[in-house]
Chains A and B, each alone.
Chain A
Amino acid sequence: MTVPATQAHNRQGSTLPRGAAPDPTGPLAVDATGLHKSFGTHSKTVHAVNGIDLQIRPGEVVAFLGPNGAGKTTTIDMLLGLSKPDAGSLAIFGMAPRAAIAHGLVSAVMQTGGLLKDLTVRETAALTASLFAQHQPVDEVLDRAGILDVAGRRVEKCSGGQQQRLRFAMALLSDPGLLILDEPTTGMDVEGRRDFWQAIRADTARGRTVIFATHYLEEADAYADRIVLVRRGKIVADGTAAEIKNLASGRTVLATADNADAAALAALPGVDSVQVQGERLAIRTKDSDAVARYLLNSTNAVDLEITSHNLEDAFVALTGDADAAAEITGTESKGK
């Protein structure tokens, strides 16, 4: 069950008020077709990525949502040129991933590691900046990431949140067109997570394309224009948070009416079920607008209510996997 790609993209086109309008004639930020990647030997092969098609236009903020082991990191490694797909084609701004890296067009914030403990924050940023042909002023970027005040501090003396904002600053130095975040808030406390997303949000307002992998549903819901739901190496849904919620379990329309025809309601497009208890109606539907229009135009319905379901419901419905759903809704923090 997947939102047709065109539908998702049209929706994107209309919801792009961020920053300057991306160049519609330019190449796609990500253009991946038929990506496959397996690990292991013949006897025990793991298909980490099993046929992923993904087109991301400049300016989109996309959440890559899925349980651990869904293939998110494997896909990201391929986008970054850290590993080569077994099959399929992949271009970043029309270039091979390694070339896009060399041109400073794409950068990434990894979840852990990637820092030298004995360098100061500013040295780390200065070193990273020096590697690019063009880069932003170091102190300006440190300021934007909110760590200018600790610029002279050794990395090993920084908190986890500060280290993560340093990784973010390093990724911003080349002013990349595409920023990839692999589970960027893993291990952060609530406050650190909020500060981090605040910094990202301020940055994406400038029109940068962002892909972030997460298994926190709330992050995907709160920060992404578009959610790509991945499971077992495949994309199982692709659309806005609202579309995905709607897709999975639709919405429930509640109303009170004494002259409604249950059969006519059930015949409306998108309706999954109609429950009648006395005068109270409960209609589960994928197209709540059509049901509401019908109720208001053709019946004497009053007290109309439309409730949507959350992403967790959507995830369970789409993947039939309650364990994975529990994992992505934050209950997993007990286990970690």
Chain B
Amino acid sequence: MTTALPATGHARNVPPFGGLNPTLLGIEIKRRFRNRRTLFFTVAFPIVMFLAFGLQFRDTSIETGRTVAQGAPSVVAFIMISMAVYGAMMASTSAGGAVAIERQLGWSRQLRLTPLHPVANIFVKILGGLSIGLLAVLATFATGLAIGVRLPLHVWIVAGTAAWLGSLVFTAMGLMVGYLVPSENVMQFMGPALAFLAFFGGLFQPLDTMAKPLQDIGVWTPTYGLGEIARSPLTGDAFNWLAVGNVILWLAVFGIGAALAFRRDTQRV
């Protein structure tokens, strides 16, 4: 034990990158993976849904002219990608929404007593969400492979990347709600909202099989935009600019909302 007086003044430095560092990130990711409830909803649940709804369509082609035996992708691949989007979305939302719990526990206030810049902390939340989101996408795709889904490599990569990175929209949503709602039960509030978005966005059931009024609502949901983009390499549909506009719009809405809520919160602390 040293007996020197604690150093004061210029002997001390301010950490680089606002305090962002591998230890902080590592512990954040470990926390995400340690949370059984999050793991269930982000990894196990989409796989179960996928198997429950998808398996029966293994031999059903998504194309009218060709059968699965002739090399056409099957409906099960369509559902697989939808479920990957769903898993990544759950992961991102809960990672962003975790700030609500941390605010309630006084952890954000504790962090304000360290050199950690609040923006660096948000960056950590985003990366934490992406890490478990990646697991959700990979687990769903691995299940698909296991039950016989065969797709060209570029479809796996493009669809997977779109599902994974597109979920940033929901990180922003989670952060916005997390900074607005002063409650530990933020996921209980967001759970139904996410189920609503998943259903009306056509993740559980293709939008064009729904009634017209539902379709009219559905195209406005961020889940619809993300699902369309992620599935586009599979369906070979023309690039859907409406879906891209949808995702950009929602990213802007949630991103700005999260930034405003965040500013309000850090000023008050």
Q: Which residues of A contact B (CB under 8 A)?
A: 19-20, 22-23, 26-27, 58-59, 80-82, 93-94, 101-105, 107-108, 110, 112-119, 123, 126-134, 140, 144, 170-171, 174-177, 206-208
Contacts and interface: CB of A to CB of B under 8 A. Distances in A.
Contacts of A94: 9
Report, nearest first, the 6 A-B pairs whose CB atoms are least far apart: A113-B106, A130-B23, A114-B110, A133-B13, A177-B8, A103-B12
A132 B114 contact: yes
Interface residues of B, number: 36
8 contacts: A82-B112, A101-B112, A108-B113, A110-B110, A119-B27, A130-B22, A131-B21, A131-B24
Interface in B86-112: 102, 105-107, 109-112
A115 B30 CA distance: 16
B12 A126 contact: no
Nearest to A144: B1
Interface of B: 1, 3-9, 12-16, 19, 21-24, 27, 30-31, 34-35, 102, 105-107, 109-116, 269
B112 A26 contact: no
Given A19-B5, A131-B21, A177-B8, A114 B106 contact: yes
B31 A119 contact: yes
B127 to A, nearest CB: 15
A23 to B, nearest CB: 8
A108 B114 CA distance: 10
A170 B110 CA distance: 10
A175 B7 contact: yes
Contact of B109 (A82, A101, A208): A82
Given A19-B3, A118-B34, A130-B23, A104 B109 contact: no
A131 B106 contact: no
B14 A80 contact: no
Taking each of A102, A110, A131, A207, which has the highest tally of chain B beta carbons within 10 Å of its own beta carbon? A131
Interface of A (DSSP majority class): loop
B18 to A, nearest CB: 9
Given A115-B105, A115-B107, A116-B107, A58 B8 contact: yes
A130 B113 CA distance: 13
A81 B112 CA distance: 9
B115 A131 contact: yes
Given A117-B105, A131-B19, A93 B9 contact: yes
B8 to A, nearest CB: 4
Nearest to A123: B27
B115 to A, nearest CB: 4
A312 B214 CA distance: 72
B31 A131 contact: no
Contacts of A132: 15, 19, 114-115
B105 A116 contact: yes
Nearest to B23: A130
Given A107-B113, A116-B102, A133-B12, A208 B6 contact: yes
A170 B13 CA distance: 18
Contacts of A58: 5, 8
A110 B3 contact: no
B6 A207 contact: yes
A208 B5 CA distance: 7
A140 B109 CA distance: 25
Contacts of B5: 19-20, 22-23, 58-59, 177, 206-208
A118 B35 CA distance: 9
B17 to A, nearest CB: 11
A139 to B, nearest CB: 12
A198 to B, nearest CB: 15
